[in-house]
Amino acid sequence: MDGNRRKNNIISILTKSTTPIKGADIAKRFDVSRQVIVQDIAILRAQGNDIIATPNGYMILSNISSGIKKTIVSQHQGHDNIEEELNTIVDLGGRILDVIVEHPIYGEIKGHLMISSRRDVEEFIKRLNKNNAEPLSTLTDGVHIHTIEVPNEDVFKKIKDELIIKKYLIE
């Protein structure tokens, strides 16, 4: 299969999916390396396709919205606090779309998360630990912004109230 046909097929696969698809799975499907898929995705993005890379794989941004998007500003240190904050949000019905920090040199730095369950939180924490990686919030003394998606305002209020109780929310 030539590269143009493969890229068209990648768009088709991602358009039909509401969950992230790993680059390795796409590569296996087309019998190419993961690096070829990374390059294809970069070209597709340059062509204007709104493809995001999440910790769980690639997806088209417009396929994920099913509720109200809100932002919260949090501050905490350590992986245990990250896990508790994220679990609080998903347990109360929210989905964490991203994490954003304001860097003094680079400006806004955003990482797409797409975390919607305790299992997603667990996988995220495992990847942090396995890769000995630091969260983006270490660049800003633990201060970070999350865009979260909620089904309604009541769910958002419950999430905010609980994060205030746990002293994670900055208001």
d(CA 46, CA 163): 38
**Smallest Cα–Cα separation from 157: which of 67, 96, 72?**
72
Q: Cite the annotated binding site by residue number.
A: 76, 85, 144, 146
Task: Write out the binding residues for Ni(2+).
Answer: 76, 85, 144, 146
Would you say 34 and 27 are in contact if contact means Cβ atoms under 8 Å apart? yes
Non-local CB neighbours of 108 within 8 Å, separated by 6+ positions: 100, 101, 102
Cα separation, 80 vs 65, whole angstroms: 28
**CB 113 within 8 Å of CB 55:** yes
Q: How many CA atoms lie within 13 A of 109 on its CB side?
A: 14
Q: Which residues contact 114 (CB under 8 A, 6 or more apart)?
A: 20, 52, 54, 55, 56, 59, 64, 95, 96, 97, 120
